[in-house]
Structure 1
């Protein structure tokens, strides 16, 4: 069967073969991308696009919340952070505030970069070498 969209097939394969940590990085990248697109839409006065991208960003943040293992202590802190980010995304959607999105994006980038570092350290411990995400 011929592939109609090789990029989509690559994406599906990337998701199905990714580790849980790599999936988390993908979620962070997706939410950051949508926040950036929403900021651009605000600058362009494209309210419909802003709304679409912020709804996608909120969906991803909620997915991050759902995947937390609340038996692990740090998950409680992450839940509070995700809840705050989600509320800020809702606020940005209702007020058209790019400044609020800058704040949310900063937190998301910091969380993503922390996850990348954790994965790198774990790979170094596991394989005795540096792995890149």
Structure 2
């Protein structure tokens, strides 16, 4: 019980001290986790848990959509992909089609992996600039 509480404190601190980029990465990781759980729930015919996990993943994608800057060109390209991913999750949920959830998982995993690279490049630039000061 105490270990669980310590873990919760650690998670809260991680979220409270994370940069915007790290928070986005956490959202992607959470979404991936919920889609994977939903797939396992579907296989186990635990439809209530499947639905709950898909809804959690959808809520994360909606949050990611809200954070897009409509003035930035890449946001205009990402938004339809988020919308498609939401559609695949909804249809996969209704039809109990794991392949649709797998496709959504693939998109979110790709977004996450790309975002990780952005964070790493940004950190390298910041480190390099800091070293020259």
TM-score (norm: length of structure 2): 0.91
Whole-Å Cα distance in 2 between the matches of residues 43 and 4 of structure 1?
A: 28
Partner SS for 1:5: helix
Residue number in structure 2 paired with 1:104: 104
Alignment of 1:66-77 (within 5 A): 66-77=66-77
Q: Shift of residue 27 of structure 1? A: 0.3
Stretches of structure 1 that go unaligned for 5 or more consecutive residues are none
Could you tell me whether the CA contact under 8 Å between 1:3 and 1:9 is conserved in 2? Answer: no
Length, aligned pairs only: 128
RMSD: 1.7
Whole-Å Cα distance in 2 between the matches of residues 3 and 17 of structure 1?
A: 21
Residue number in structure 1 paired with 2:37: 37
CA deviations 1:29-50 (Å, max 9, x no partner) are 0000000000001110110110
Q: Which has the higher helix share?
A: 2
Whole-Å Cα distance in 2 between the matches of residues 120 and 14 of structure 1?
A: 18
Moved over 6 A (4+): none
Whole-Å Cα distance in 2 between the matches of residues 46 and 4 of structure 1?
A: 25
TM-score (norm: length of structure 1): 0.91
